[in-house]
Amino acid sequence: MTQPNINKSEALFAQAQHTIPGGVNSPVRAFRSVGGTPRFFARAQGPYVWDADGNRYVDTICSWGPAIVGHAHPEVISAVQKAAEGGLSFGAPTEGEVTLAEWVREHLPSMEMMRLTSSGTEATMSAIRVARGYTGRSKIVKFEGCYHGHVDSLLVKAGSGLLTFGNPDSAGIPPSFAAETIVLDYNDIEGVKACFAAHGSDIAAVIVEPIAGNMNLVRPVAGFLETLREQCSAAGSVLIFDEVMTGFRVGPQGVQGLTGIRPDLTTLGKVIGGGMPMGAFGGRKDIMQVVAPIGPVYQAGTLSGNPVAVAAGLATLRIVSQPHFFTRLTALTAELMSGLEHAARNAGLTAFRADSVGGMFGLYFSEALPKSLSDVSASNRERFNRFFHAMLARGVYLAPSAYEAGFLSIQHEGEPAQEILRAAQASFAELAGTH
């Protein structure tokens, strides 16, 4: 098939590498995992994005989650324009901040008090500090494959054994920082119990993606989240749900609403900002009262609660709270995943699975759905890379890594979803022909 012209993207990428590390401002954008030239986008509308050369793609990243109502939704754009006309930033309180916080508390009752931030990374960093300040303890438990932003103590990979402490997963992080972090396998219930038996009195917090999305989509097995809740409660540790990705993306109350499990602290981002830089952390009132200015844990941000971002977030959240929004989005995503599996089987590719929760999905070139990072790593990544480029050539933009979840918007209903399916049918046939 004829490959699209990407001359401008190639030229921009070459130019960018002179002033920006790797030519990109976030690593996965560089296409290092899949190879080839990253596309430089010029505009977006609804379920579509256009690159600098004018090529149109069905977008299945949606800005890594925030564009749940579709790109450039008129209500969101109008709210942003109106807010911008009044000034971009004040460094002082605004009514919109209060409105947004009250909206979040109404839909996520576990967040009795909260603080707005400018990013999900800032939210998780602050939540960890609050948990340590509240408990007077230092150690943190995280899970292999879960990403919580580029925070020093959380960019940690597993040690050499079940209960060993982690090792730095990035240059520039002192080993002493990583030594305060214990890394366990996701969905390892017995590992959690053993960890608390050995270190429970030293653990300030457990932080977890309650549905993982940074090692592709990985669901919690039955009893995993329940065990975290039980062990944290028994040890006096703080349970942090990192719902930066899943919050208002998998359902109207995030994973908390799907499972009924109430964390002590929650971090939010992405959808809450409607595409603008925004995050939040919050939870139990007694814990959040350790935050300055009423408590000893310092946290601040010049652009926290930025009025333009607040306006974008509120407009988006009001749309997703409309009746049947998540019922439609969930059905759309599940039906597309079923269609993709059927198309793969028809092409003779039996080692392909797809899964979804709400408007979030995962694609895996493997026989079974993964339960951990090691399962994802065992999938056929070379076949995923070929599929990625086959889909890209047919006008579908997938996440450029086998380790990333995908996202749909409500605007993908109808023809856009069918475009994805038709492209997949042809791409699976292409893969089967070169097997």
Active-site position among 264, 270, 364, 397:
270
Residue of 233, 287, 232 whose CA lies nearest to 265:
287
Residue of 376, 379, 390 whose CA lies nearest to 431:
390
Beta strand ranges found along 215-330 (DSSP E):
238-243, 265-269, 279-283
Sign of CA dihedral 228, 233, 235, 236: positive
- Inter-helix orientation angle 189-199/224-235, to 10°: 10
- Alpha-helical segments (H) within 321-433: 325-346, 373-377, 381-393, 415-433
Retrieve residue 198's tokens.
């050995």
Give the span between the Cα atoms of 175 and 159, in whole angstroms. Answer: 12
Active-site position among 51, 188, 242, 375:
242
Phi-psi map region of 309: left, alpha, beta (phi>0 left; psi -120 to 50 alpha): alpha
Retrieve residue 382's tokens.
């070379």
Active site residue 147: yes
Active site residue 270: yes
Active-site position among 57, 134, 147, 364:
147
Residue type, 140: I
Active site residue 188: no
- The contacts of residue 235 (CB under 8 Å, 6+ apart) are 196, 200, 201, 203
Residues across the chain: 435
Catalytic residues: 147, 242, 270
